[in-house]
A and B are shown apart, each in its own frame.
Chain A
Amino acid sequence: MTARVAAETRASVPDRAPTRVDIRSLRLPIAIMIVIALGAPFVIYPVFLMKMLCWALFACAFNLLIGYVGLLSFGHALFFGAAGYLAGHAAKVWGLPFELSVLTGMGTAAVLGLVVGWIAIRRQGIYFAMITLALAQLFYFFCLRAPFTGGEDGIQGVPRGKLFGALSLDDNRAMYFVVLAIFLLGFFFILRVIHSPFGQVLKAVRENEPRAVSLGYKSDQYKLIAFVLSAALSGLAGALKTIVFQLASLDSVYWTTSGEVILMVLLGGLGTVFGPVVGAVVIVCVESYLAQLGGWVTVVQGVLFVVCVLAFRRGIIGELSRVLHRPL
Chain B
Amino acid sequence: MNTVFGVPIQALFSQLLVGLINGSFYALLSLGLAVIFGLLNVINFCHGALYMLGALVAWLMLEHFGIGYWGALIIAPIAVGLFGALIERTMIKRIAGLDPLYGLLLTFGLALIIQGVARNYFGVSGEPYEIPPQLTGGRNLGFMFLPNYRAWVVLVSVLLCGSTWYVTERTRLGSYLRAATENPLLVQAFGINVPRMITITYALGVGLAALAGVMAAPIYRVNPLMGADLIIVVFAVVVIGGMGSIFGSILTGFGLGVIEGLTKVYYPEASSTVVFVIMAIVLLLKPAGLFGRTA
Residues of A near any B CB (own CB < 8 A): 12, 14, 72, 74, 119-120, 122-127, 129-131, 133-135, 137-138, 141-142, 145, 255, 259, 262, 266, 294-299, 301-306, 308-310, 313
Contacts and interface: CB of A to CB of B under 8 A. Distances in A.
B106 A306 contact: yes
Contacts of A294: 120
Interface of B is mostly: helix
B101 interface: yes
B89 to A, nearest CB: 13
Interface in B241-295: 269, 272-273, 275-277, 279-280, 283-284, 287, 295
A125 B232 contact: no
Interface of A is mostly: helix
B185 to A, nearest CB: 15
A130 B97 CA distance: 20
Contacts of B113: 298-299, 302-303, 306
A302 B112 contact: yes
A138 B239 contact: no
Interface size class, chain B: 35 or more
Given A130-B43, A134-B235, A137-B276, A309 B287 contact: no
B108 A131 contact: no
Interface of B: 37, 43, 91, 94-95, 97-106, 108-117, 119-120, 229, 232-233, 235-236, 238-239, 269, 272-273, 275-277, 279-280, 283-284, 287, 295
Contact of A296 (B98, B103, B120): B120
B280 A135 contact: yes
Contact of A123 (B94, B98, B283): B283
A72 B100 CA distance: 11
Nearest to A127: B239
A125 B133 CA distance: 47
A63 to B, nearest CB: 14
Given A299-B117, A304-B109, A310-B95, A134 B102 contact: no
B109 A305 contact: yes
